[in-house]
């Protein structure tokens, strides 16, 4: 098991948008081990349904896969940026495709298969938290 310093819990969860069930479970485990509450969505439409349903609190961060079954992550990102109530939520891209150019304005990009600390570093930075990443 990796050593992780927990951050102070946030009242707002992290929304994880990932269609691969194994990846979703692994990332959720890393985030929760790091002290983050999570909400998951397996598609872009599921994520939008959650975000536009008026659920409160809105997530403090969105971890977004770029390859989703119903729309690409960059399309979902564009929809988020066009919604005033959602446009300020930071987004960390989580992708298995290192050759895809980074999306402008994202808080970070993490390649699937990276060490879990890489993901936590980006999430912490986007949420304004810090911890000792060894």
> Using only C-alpha atoms, what is the Rg of the chain?
14
Query: Is 89 a residue whose pLDDT tops 90?
Result: yes
Using CA of residue 54, residue 66, residue 7, residue 30, what is the dihedral sign? positive
**Range of weakest confidence among 3-7, 70-74, 75-79, 100-104:** 3-7
- Looking at residues 36-56, what average pLDDT do you find? 91
The pLDDT, as a whole number, for residue 128 is 87
- Looking at residues 91-112, what average pLDDT do you find? 91
Cβ within 8 Å of residue 124, ≥6 positions away:
7, 34, 130, 131
Q: Where are the domains of the chain?
A: 18-59+81-88
């Amino acid at each position: 098991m990796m050593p992780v310093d927990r951050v102070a819990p946030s009242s707002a969860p992290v929304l994880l948008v990932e269609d691969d069930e194994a990846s979703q479970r692994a990332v959720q485990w890393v985030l929760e081990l790091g002290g983050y509450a999570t909400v998951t969505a397996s598609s872009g439409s599921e994520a939008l349904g959650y975000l536009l349903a008026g659920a409160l609190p809105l997530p403090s961060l969105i971890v977004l896969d770029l390859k989703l079954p119903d729309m690409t992550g960059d399309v979902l990102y564009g929809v988020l940026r066009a919604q005033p109530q959602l446009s300020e939520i930071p987004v960390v891209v989580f992708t298995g495709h290192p050759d895809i150019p980074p999306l402008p304005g994202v808080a970070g990009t993490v390649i699937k298969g990276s060490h879990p600390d890489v993901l936590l570093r980006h999430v912490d930075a986007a949420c304004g938290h810090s911890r000792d990443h060894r």
